[in-house]
């Protein structure tokens, strides 16, 4: 027997079931894009590693040559290229941060689906509080915790993002470990 749905509702139709479907769809979409992007990032990481090794080999060969203006220019070019590669690798760390954040999103969506689909849990404030505590406990970055707290305090999404950005500007020289 098929379940009722929004396209063909009957007496068994439920907005809760429709919500659960959409939450699960959102989680699945994020999971798929994370998996696909991980393959690309792995390829880029391997390429950067190979480039660094090649630049080191070129640099070592240049050092062994006799002194000349061309040698000095080539060594300077190797040094600049190495610095750019290192900056790119550091920028790549954004992907790790993004991936961790999106994994939290999918976990939260799945947890919310399970909470909403169970009537005993859905109407129990203690279950919601426990779920919220589980979400917050998974966060390792202070910015995630701050946004979570702001939203639960009833602030708008825009206000929570503005607070996060303000915190980010204050700590722009600090490294946030995750």
Q: Give every CB contact of residue 174 below 8 A, 6+ residues apart in sequence.
A: none
25 found inside a domain: yes
Residue 52 lies in a domain: yes
Within-domain flag for 143: no
State which residues form the domain around 99: 15-120
- Residue 105 has which token pair? 């999103």
Which of 141 and 158 is assigned the larger pLDDT? Answer: 158
In a domain, 3, yes or no: no
| pTM for this predicted structure | 0.68
Alpha-helix runs per DSSP H in the chain: 15-64, 69-117, 119-122, 125-138, 142-152, 157-170
**Does 22 reside within a domain?**
yes
Tell how far CA 103 is from the center of its chain: 7
Top mean-pLDDT range of 28-42, 81-95, 104-118? 104-118
Q: For the chain, what is the mean pLDDT? A: 86
- What mean pLDDT is predicted for residues 39-44? 85
Residues 6+ away with beta carbon under 8 Å from 104: 135, 138, 139, 144
How confident is the model at residue 86, as a pLDDT?
Answer: 85
Pairwise CA distance, residues 113 & 130, whole Å: 15
With respect to residue 68, please indicate whether it lies within any of the assigned structural domains. Answer: yes
How many domains does the chain fold into?
Answer: 1
pLDDT tens digits, 123-140: 999 999 999 999 999 998
């Amino acid at each position: 027997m098929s379940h009722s749905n929004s396209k063909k509702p009957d007496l068994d139709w439920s907005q809760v079931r429709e919500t659960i479907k959409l939450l699960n769809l959102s989680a699945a979409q994020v999971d798929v894009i994370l998996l696909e992007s991980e393959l690309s990032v792995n390829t880029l990481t391997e390429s950067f590693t190979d480039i660094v090794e090649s630049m080191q080999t070129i640099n070592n060969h240049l050092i062994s040559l006799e002194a000349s203006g061309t040698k000095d220019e080539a060594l300077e070019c190797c040094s600049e290229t190495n610095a750019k590669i290192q900056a790119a690798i550091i920028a790549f760390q954004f992907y790790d941060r993004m991936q961790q954040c999106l994994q939290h999103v999918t976990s939260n969506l799945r947890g919310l689906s399970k909470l909403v689909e169970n009537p005993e849990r859905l109407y129990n404030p203690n279950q919601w509080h426990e779920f919220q505590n589980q979400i917050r406990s998974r966060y390792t970055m202070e910015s995630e915790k701050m946004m979570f707290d702001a939203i639960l305090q009833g602030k708008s999404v825009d206000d929570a993002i503005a607070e996060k950005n303000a915190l980010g500007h204050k700590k722009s020289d600090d490294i946030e470990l995750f």
